[in-house]
Structure 1
Amino acid sequence: MPTAPARPSRARRVWGETWRILAALGIGFVGIAFIAWETDTGQRTVTDAQAALDLLVGVLGLPLLLLRRRAPLTVALLLGAASTVSILVSGAQMVALVSLSTHRRWWKISLALVVGVAAAGVYERLHPLVDPGASDWLVNLIASTFGFALLVWIGAYIGLRREHLVSLQERAETAEREQASRVAQAQTAERTRIAREMHDVLAHRISLVAMHAGALAYRTDLPPDKVAETAGVVRDNAHAALTELREVLGVLRDPLAGDAPPEPPQPSLADLADLFAEARANGADVRVEGPVDDLGARAAGLGEAVSRHAYRIVQEGLTNARKHAPWAPVAVSVVGAPGEGLTIVVRNPVRSVGPLPEAPAPPPSGLGLVGLTERVELVGGRLSYGTTADPAARDGRGAAFVLEAWLPWAA
C-alpha cells in the first residue's frame, strides 16, 4: 500500500476543514429550504417541534465532521442515524460518506449505505407527504440508493487519485535517490581511481628520492661530483613527482572552467622499456628475463585496461623493491601469448645490498598491493605475493620477495 502523503501545513488543514463544513451546511440549507417549501404549500406535514429538532440536530452534527479522519465509520453512522430526524445534517452525512469511501473499505461503506438508505425511509415516515402516491416509497428508495452510490463512487475516485499521486511522488523520490546514488558511486569510483593513480605515480618517484637521499645521508665519503649527481637525481624526481601529481589531480578540476588540461594517456606495456631505462638511469639494477622490447607491439589485442594494469604491476614491484631493498637487483619477467594469458613476476632480495648500511624501514602505506589486487580482480586475473627462498643466494639461506600476477589475454 502506498504510504500517506506528507502532512499539509496548518493553514491548509484549517481551510480544508472550513470549506467542507461550509459545503455541508450549504447542502443542508438547500434540503431544509425544500422541506420548508413543501410544508408551506401543504405537500408535507412537519410540526414546529420537528423543525426545531431538525435545526438542533443539524447544528450539533456539523462538528462531527472534524472527527471523520480519526473515526470515519463512526462519524458516517452517527450522521446517518441523525438524518432520520434532520434534513439539515444531510450535507454533513454526504461529506462523511465521501470521506469514508476514499479508504475503499467496502464492508464499512456497505454498512454506512444501509444506515443511510434506512434513515431516508424513516425520515419519510416521520415527515410524511399529505397525498403520497402508491409508488412514492419505491421512487424515494431508488433515488436515495442512487444518490448514496454516487457519493461512494466520488469518494472512491478521490481515494484512487490520492494514491496515484502518492505513487507518482514515491517514484519521483525513488528516481531522485537512485540518481543521487549513481552520482555518489561514480564519484567514489573516480576518487578511488585517482587515489590509486596517485599512489602508483608518487610511490614510484618518492621511492627514488628516498633511495638517493639515503645514499647522501649515509655515504659521507662520496666525492663532490657524485654528491652533485645524486642530488640532481633527487631534484629531478621531486620535480617529476610534482608534475605527475598535478596531472593526476587535473581530473578533479571543473571541466566547465575551460582551463583544465586534458588527462594524459595512461602508460601501458609499450612503455615498459622506458620504465626499465629510467630505473637503470637512477641506479637500480633491473634484470629483465625474456624479451619485453616487442611485447607492447605483440600485446595489441591484450586490451587497454589489462595492458595498463600490467604496467602498474611492474611499476609497483620496482617501487616495493626500491623501498624495502634499495640497491638490490630486481628480476622482472613478463611473458605471455594470446589464449594463454600474461604472467608477470617481479623478484628481489628481502635485504638491501649495496652502498648503504641497514637503513630504517620506510613507513608502509598498505595500499600498493591492495590496489594491485583490486586491479587484477577487475579484469579477472590472479595476484600472489610473499617471501620465498632466493635461488640467487650463494649460501642457500637468502630470502626473496616475489610478486606474481596472471592477467587474461584472449585468443
Structure 2
Amino acid sequence: MTRTEYPWLLPSAMAEPADPDSAGKRGGGRRPRRTVRDWGVDLIVFFFAVFIGMIALDTADQAGNSEPLIMADLLIGLAACGTLWVRRRWPVGPAVALSLVQIVSPTASGAALVALFSLAIHRPFKPVAYVAVLSLATMTVQAYLRPDPTISHLVALIVGALLVLLALAWGMLVRSRRQLVMALRERAVRAETEAALRAEQAQRLARESIAREMHDVLAHRLTLLSVHAGALEFRPDAPPPEVARAAGVIRDSAHEALQDLRMIIGVLRAPGDDGERPQPTLVTLDALVAESREAGMKVTLDSGVGDPEAVPSTTGRTAYRIAQEGLTNARKHAPGTGATVLVSGGPGDGLTVEVRNEAPLGPVPHVPGSGQGLIGLTERATLAGGRFEHGPTRDGGFAVKAWLPWSP
C-alpha cells in the first residue's frame, strides 16, 4: 500500500485535527480552504434554516402579530441564518447566541438547531450539553412568550425537545464517525510506516547474512591462495616438487573458491535450486581438517561427538564455520605453527567448538584483513542461541571458542 494509491493518507489529509473545526481556536494557524463538499453542506443547512424560519414566520402571521413585529422576525431570522456561515470557525458563539435569540424570534429556531448540530460535531460532549440545556430552556420560554396558535403548549414543548435531542444525537453520531475515520487513517499510516521499517530491517539482516556467508566461505580459500602465492614469491628457488605442490594448492583453492562463489550467487538468484551445492555440517569437518593438512598446516582434530550426523544441521553448520574461520586465522597470523580443533558435547548439554593455535614463530607476517571474521562468528553464535569467546592464550597463541545449543 502506498500513499499515491490512497490519497487520503497524504499529509494534507492528516493535517485535519480531531475536532474538524478546532483550527479556528489555534492562533496563527492557517485554516484549510473550503472544499466543494463544504460549500454544498453549508448551502443545504442555510436553506434548511431559512425553510424552518419561513414556517415559523407563517405561524406568527396566523397568530395575528403586527406587521412591524413580523418584519422584525423576518430580519432577525435572516441574520440568524447568515451567522451559520461562520459556525465552522466559531461553533460555540453562534450556538449560544441563536439559542438566546430564539426566545423573542421563532424564525431563528431553525438556525439555532443547525448551530447546535454543528457544535455537537466540532466540540466535546460537555460544552455541547450546556448549550443543549440552554436551547431547551429558551424554547420553553418561547412557547409562552410567542405561542403557536395551531398546537397546545405541551405539544410545542415536546416537539421542541425532540428537535433539540435529534440535532444533538445526530451531531454526536457524525462526530464519532469522523473520529473513527481519522483513527483508521492514522492506523493505516502507522501500519505503512511499520511495514517499511520491517522491510528495511529484513533487507539489512539479509545483507548481513550474505556478508557473513561470503566471508566465511571465501576467506578460507583465498587465504590458501595468499599463503602459497607468497611462498612462491619469497622462495623462487624452491625445489620443483614444492613449487608444483604449491601451484596445485593454488589451483584447487581457486577452483573451490569459484565453486563457492557460484553457489552463493545461485542462492541469491534462486533459493532452493536443485543444483545448489550441499551445505557443510559437522560431518564435513574431517574434510576441512584434511584440506588444511594438505595445504601444509599442522592440524589436530579431537572430536568427542560420537555421531556427527546426529547434530542438527543448523548447529553443525555453525560449528563448521567457526572451525573454518579459526583455521583460516591461524594460517594467516601464525603460519607454520600447530593448530588444534576441539569438538565436544551432546544432546541437552550443547555443542562446544574450540580452535587453538600455538604462538607464532618469529615476527607475525602482515596479512590484510577487515576484522569482520570474528564479528561474523559472534553474530552466528548469537543467532544460533549460543555464546562465542576469543582471545590470546597463556602460551602466546590464540583461541576461539563457541558453545551452541543442542536440543535433546
- Which residue of the other structure, out of 106, 114, 117, is the alignment partner of 1:95? 114
Question: Residues of 2 paired with 1:191 and 1:229: CA distance?
Answer: 37
Question: Residues of 1 paired with 2:351 and 2:270: CA distance?
Answer: 38
Q: 1:402 to 1:298 in 2, by over 3 A?
A: same
Q: Does 1:54 align with 2:73?
A: yes
AA in 2 matched with 1:192: E
Partner of 2:337 in structure 1?
328
Question: Residues of 1 paired with 2:200 and 2:391: CA distance?
Answer: 36
Question: Residues of 2 paired with 1:108 and 1:263: CA distance?
Answer: 72
The total of aligned residue pairs comes to 383
Q: 1:373 to 1:19 in 2, by over 3 A?
A: same
Q: Does 1:227 align with 2:243?
A: yes
- Which residue of the other structure, out of 398, 402, 405, is the alignment partner of 1:405? 402
Q: 1:311 to 1:5 in 2, by over 3 A?
A: same
Q: 1:132 to 1:64 in 2, by over 3 A?
A: closer
Q: Kindly indicate whether the alpha-carbon contact (under 8 Å) linking 2:60 and 2:70 is maintained by their aligned counterparts in 1.
A: no
Partner of 1:318 in structure 2?
327
Q: Note the 1:79-228 alignment, pairs <5 A.
A: 79-102=98-121, 105-125=124-144, 127-129=146-148, 136-224=152-240, 226-228=242-244
Q: Kindly indicate whether the alpha-carbon contact (under 8 Å) linking 1:194 and 1:249 is maintained by their aligned counterparts in 2.
A: no
Q: 1:389 to 1:6 in 2, by over 3 A?
A: closer
Question: Residues of 2 paired with 1:193 and 1:152: CA distance?
Answer: 61
Question: Residues of 2 paired with 1:56 and 1:22: CA distance?
Answer: 19
Partner of 2:19 in structure 1?
none
Question: Residues of 2 paired with 1:35 and 1:95: CA distance?
Answer: 15
AA in 2 matched with 1:366: G
Q: Does 1:348 align with 2:345?
A: no
Question: Residues of 2 paired with 1:202 and 1:90: CA distance?
Answer: 86
Q: Does 1:6 align with 2:19?
A: no
* Cα shift at 1:140: 1.4
Question: Residues of 2 paired with 1:36 and 1:5: CA distance?
Answer: 42
- Which residue of the other structure, out of 13, 28, 52, is the alignment partner of 1:31? 52
AA in 2 matched with 1:51: I
1:254-295 CA deviation, whole Å, 9 max, x = no partner?
77xx9x77654321001111111222222222222357xxx5
Q: 1:264 to 1:59 in 2, by over 3 A?
A: farther
* Cα shift at 1:112: 1.3
Q: Note the 1:297-316 alignment, pairs <5 A.
A: 298-316=307-325
* Cα shift at 1:327: 2.9
Q: Percent identity?
A: 42
Q: 1:359 to 1:333 in 2, by over 3 A?
A: closer
Matched residue SS, 1:389: coil
Matched residue SS, 1:330: strand
Partner of 1:393 in structure 2?
none
* Cα shift at 1:196: 1.0
Q: 1:100 to 1:210 in 2, by over 3 A?
A: same
Q: Kindly indicate whether the alpha-carbon contact (under 8 Å) linking 1:21 and 1:92 is maintained by their aligned counterparts in 2.
A: no
Q: Kindly indicate whether the alpha-carbon contact (under 8 Å) linking 1:266 and 1:308 is maintained by their aligned counterparts in 2.
A: yes
Partner of 1:396 in structure 2?
none
TM-score, with structure 2 as normaliser: 0.82
1:300-348 CA deviation, whole Å, 9 max, x = no partner?
3332221111111110111101111123222222233334433322111
* Cα shift at 1:369: 1.4
Question: Residues of 1 paired with 2:58 and 2:303: CA distance?
Answer: 113
* Cα shift at 1:362: 1.7
Partner of 1:378 in structure 2?
383
Q: Kindly indicate whether the alpha-carbon contact (under 8 Å) linking 1:25 and 1:88 is maintained by their aligned counterparts in 2.
A: no
* Cα shift at 1:405: 2.4
Question: Residues of 2 paired with 1:317 and 1:195: CA distance?
Answer: 18
Q: Does 1:281 align with 2:294?
A: yes
Q: Does 1:68 align with 2:87?
A: yes
Question: Residues of 2 paired with 1:79 and 1:215: CA distance?
Answer: 100
Q: Kindly indicate whether the alpha-carbon contact (under 8 Å) linking 1:45 and 1:127 is maintained by their aligned counterparts in 2.
A: no
1:243-264 CA deviation, whole Å, 9 max, x = no partner?
3223223333377xx9x77654
Q: Kindly indicate whether the alpha-carbon contact (under 8 Å) linking 1:27 and 1:90 is maintained by their aligned counterparts in 2.
A: no
* Cα shift at 1:11: 9.7
Structure 1 unaligned blocks of 5 or more: 391-398
AA in 2 matched with 1:309: T
Question: Residues of 1 paired with 2:106 and 2:268: CA distance?
Answer: 74
Q: Kindly indicate whether the alpha-carbon contact (under 8 Å) linking 1:24 and 1:94 is maintained by their aligned counterparts in 2.
A: no
Matched residue SS, 2:35: helix
Question: Residues of 1 paired with 2:245 and 2:309: CA distance?
Answer: 38
AA in 1 matched with 2:41: R
1:94-151 CA deviation, whole Å, 9 max, x = no partner?
222112223563332232123323333444455445x577xx2222112111110011
* Cα shift at 1:352: 4.4
